[in-house]
Amino acid sequence: MALHIPGTKYYVKVERRLEVPRMIPALVSIVSAIAGILLGGIIFLAVGIDPMEAYTRIGRVVTNPAFLGNAIEVSIPIMFTSLALILPFRMAFYNIGGEGQFEIGAIVAMIPVIWYWAGFELPTFIYLPFMALLAFVIAGLWALIPAFLRAKWKVNEILVTLMMNFISLQIIWYLVSPGGPWNEANPAFRERYLAYLKEQGVSIIPGFKGTPVVPEVARMPTIPGLGINAGLVLAIVIAVVLWFISSKTIIGYEVRIVGESEKAAQYAGINYLRLVLLVMFISGGLAGLGGFVNLTADLLKLSPEISTPGYGYTGIIAAWLSRLNPIAALIVSVFFGILTQSAYIMQQELRISHYVSVGFEGLIFILLVIGDFFVYYRVRLMKKV
């Protein structure tokens, strides 16, 4: 296809690439992210805020070690929700349910905490591993529902995973609302929890929507010297394992074949049902682990607020931006952590909703999608001879 530029001797030539050079997708990702931030300035202009005011907040987060630490802390849940999507997205299974799987992980990780306050205690060293295991397995099983429906009856996985996000959030509302079984005012916790609160010099807030606090024994430790929670180490280990699985194992190979063509995979004798169940179990499990980390390191109480930052949705864009490379996903997550942290500062100082970061994420996503055009097509400016 050739498009003549009127009034000049030049024309634009567009042709499909036969082979995509390795650097192009990464380049498009980086350009989209930067262009998204710059174009996002229009959002600020539209609400009467000088874009420079907003950018200086982002700059402050990047340059101030304390803020940067916070931003990395915020990026840890995004690392989990984006890493979770790498295998399913590689096989063109669009798991949009990271948010719900994340929440399920946090919910079930809470079970030993509830036992604790009800007077049933486990050996100290058991708490974190047990909670992590619960989060991984139950969130993994939760993610098998859309996987099974898709493999068995071709039920659209995007819609099912998305619907399930609303269900998991409603489960949290049920558990923690006043009168709910896990609400901090539940009489079952009274003896121990009230004594603990008295020691801390705080009291139960009537009508509070949330559980009792996670006790010291079940909290995520911080990395010595960095002040960042140990979930970061876990995320890095997972990224390396995922890189290994996707590039060095049969599963990774099968995932790639299915991603290229489901039909071809069928001819190659790949069992789609088995593969999608395995991949989604891992995917849901990883997102669930993120929920466990978020609960034990940051939130310390389960409440509907867990859904406010929308980590599951940010993970989708982070995974897409990383081009499904697990190591790149870690870096991209930090980028979104910085953006989210900046948005919270802007909310306080510039009186703008923290949803502005969601707007930014969407804008970057749109630009990334459009940028894909340059991945598939070669666009050249040519001179007429």
Partner 1 sequence: MELDIVNLFLIQSLTIGTVYLIATLGEVLSERAGVVNLGLEGLMEVGATVAIIVALMTENAWIGLLAAFLAAAALAAIHAFTTVSLKLNQFASGLAIYIFGVGIGVTFRGYARDIILGPQALLKIPKIKAALASIRIPGISNIPIIGSLFSLDAMVYFGIFLGLLLWFIFYKTRIGLNIRSVGENPAAADAAGVNVFRLRYITTIIGGGLAGVAGGYLIIKIATQIAGETVILGRGWIAIALVIFAFWDPLRAIIGAYLFGALEASFYWLQGYFGGATVVMLKAVPHISAIIILTIMSIEALRKRIGAPEALGKPYSRE
| Interface contacts to partner 1, rule CB under 8 A | 43, 46-48, 94, 96, 149, 153-156, 158-160, 162-164, 166-167, 170-171, 173-175, 177-181, 183, 313, 316-317, 320, 351-353, 355-363, 365-366, 368-370, 372-373, 376
Which of 220, 328 has the CB closer to partner 1? 328
Beta carbons of 264 and 54 less than 8 angstroms apart: no
* Shortest reach from residue 384's CB to partner 1, in Å: 24
Which of 170, 271 has the CB closer to partner 1? 170
* Shortest reach from residue 172's CB to partner 1, in Å: 9
Which of 114, 316 has the CB closer to partner 1? 316
Closest CA to 341 of 52, 48, 57: 57
* Shortest reach from residue 356's CB to partner 1, in Å: 5
Which of 87, 220 has the CB closer to partner 1? 87
Query: In 270-297, which positions are buried (b, 16+ CB within 10 angstroms) versus exposed (e)?
Result: bebeebbbbbbbbbbbbbbbbbbbbbbb
Closest CA to 116 of 196, 45, 38: 196
| Cα–Cα distance for residue pair 273/314, rounded to 1 Å | 28
Distances 140 to 62, 143, 168, 179, 275 between C-alpha atoms, Å: 35, 5, 14, 29, 14
| Tokens, residue 333 | 């997550």
Strand order from edge to edge, sheet including 2-4: 2-4, 10-16, 377-383
Give the 3-state secondary structure of residue 15: strand
* Shortest reach from residue 155's CB to partner 1, in Å: 4
Beta carbons of 276 and 161 less than 8 angstroms apart: no
Which of 64, 308 has the CB closer to partner 1? 308
Which of 61, 358 has the CB closer to partner 1? 358
Which of 87, 132 has the CB closer to partner 1? 87
The stretches of 110-155 forming alpha helices (DSSP H) are 111-117, 127-153
* Shortest reach from residue 166's CB to partner 1, in Å: 4
| Tokens, residue 297 | 């390191």
Which of 83, 316 has the CB closer to partner 1? 316
Which of 168, 296 has the CB closer to partner 1? 168
Closest CA to 228 of 58, 70, 82, 65: 70
| Cα–Cα distance for residue pair 292/104, rounded to 1 Å | 9
* Shortest reach from residue 99's CB to partner 1, in Å: 12
* Shortest reach from residue 3's CB to partner 1, in Å: 12
* Shortest reach from residue 192's CB to partner 1, in Å: 22
Contacts of 80 (CB under 8 A, 6+ apart): 102, 231, 235, 238, 286, 287, 289, 290, 291, 293, 311, 315
* Shortest reach from residue 174's CB to partner 1, in Å: 5
| Cα–Cα distance for residue pair 137/56, rounded to 1 Å | 43
